[in-house]
Homo-oligomer: A and B are copies of this chain.
Amino acid sequence: MPTVKDVAKRAGVSVATVSRVLNNSNKVSEETRQKVLKAIEELGFKPNLLARNFRRDKSNLILVILPTIANAYFARVVKGIEDTARKYGYGILLCTTGNSPEIASDYLKLIERKQVDGAIIASAKISKDALLEIDPKKIVQACEFYPFLDTSCVLIDHKKAFFEIVDYLIKKGKKNILCAIGNEGIPSEEERKEGYRQALEKNGMEFKEENIIRCRYGSTEIYEKLKTLICSKKYDAVACSSDLMAVGAIKAAKAVGLKIPDEFAVTGFDNIMISRLYEPSITTVAQPMYEIGEKATEILISSLENNSFSKERVILPHDIKTRESA
């Protein structure tokens, strides 16, 4: 295993400088920092996690609060968090809340107790009260932004992304497009609904509340709801808020006997692996999942290590992946 000395040698700097980079100190020039990070990568150096804990009143652990791990979306976001945290000598601990704000509050207590240094809240539902006592520099929101929480955040422009994919469906000639989104109370879902509305409006189509299907992100609920709705042959597409919903929608269209995408087109959201593997492969919005995790972690570690807080709102670019389903 390469040591910090090997890194220093390869980068042509002192051990103290490597240490400063690992501690994310701002006393290092960007050029030097890049040299050290390059050496770390080339050597496959892994800082001894948690080892620095004893020197300072720090755990060198970051808590990641997720609604669930049963979604490949979060696995990619977490990978971005993990790789970045490790680069700076932090370990990460994950906890899942099943979207219960009470459970999220319980876990946030680990910050007060100094069992973790800070937390990344990735999509998990949270209540304002839970954060009242917590220093905002110790929290970053990722994927989702609850505006009542005064923290930095990293996410995509959900409204614009949904606007674009609905606009794409319209350009493909679709005239009666359903919109399948998550249950109420999640800000990004309301953003996406607004994107859907604006795309219809821009193309001179009428928005109808009844064309909004609210359901869970999995494939089962949408399958049931859609099967009933689409046998009327009134609809020719559905824009879904997750790739698993899109799988359920494709199954429903097949069950009813509609040809995909000619008679019924389906789009997903996120670009998780199944959207590429499924047959037909699924046209979807690619979220930069890994990069969201990466950036959120960089912001958090930087404010923890510099002990300073500047509220950042980072919007990362998304991308439309056109495949067979639409």
Complex interface bits, A107-130 against B, C-beta within 8 A gives 1, otherwise 0: 101100001000000000000000
| A294 contacts B by Cβ under 8 Å | no
Bound CA span A92–B97, Å: 10
* B106 and A91 within 8 A (CB): yes
* B91 and A107 within 8 A (CB): yes
Chain B: CB-nearest residue to A75 = B70
By a CB distance below 8 angstroms, the chain B residues around A50 are 106-107, 109-110
| A72 contacts B by Cβ under 8 Å | yes
Most B C-beta atoms less than 10 A away, residue of A69, A103, A107, A251:
A69
Query: In angstroms, how far is the closest chain B Cβ from the Cβ of A250?
Result: 9
> What range describes how many residues of A lie at the interface?
35 or more
* A94 and B95 within 8 A (CB): yes
- In chain A, residues 66-117, which have Cβ atoms closer than 8 Å to a Cβ of chain B? 68-72, 74-76, 78-79, 82, 91-96, 100, 102-103, 106-107, 109-110, 115
By a CB distance below 8 angstroms, the chain B residues around A227 are none
Query: In angstroms, how far is the closest chain B Cβ from the Cβ of A196?
Result: 25
Which single member of B109, B110, B115, B251 contacts A277 (CB below 8 Å)? Answer: B251
Q: A residues engaging B (CB < 8 A)?
A: 1, 46, 48-50, 59, 63, 68-72, 74-76, 78-79, 82, 91-96, 100, 102-103, 106-107, 109-110, 115, 219, 247, 251, 273-274, 277-279
| Sample of 13 further A-B pairs with CB below 8 A, known A63-B93, A278-B278 | A49-B107, A69-B69, A69-B75, A70-B75, A70-B79, A72-B72, A91-B95, A91-B107, A92-B95, A93-B93, A94-B95, A94-B96, A219-B277
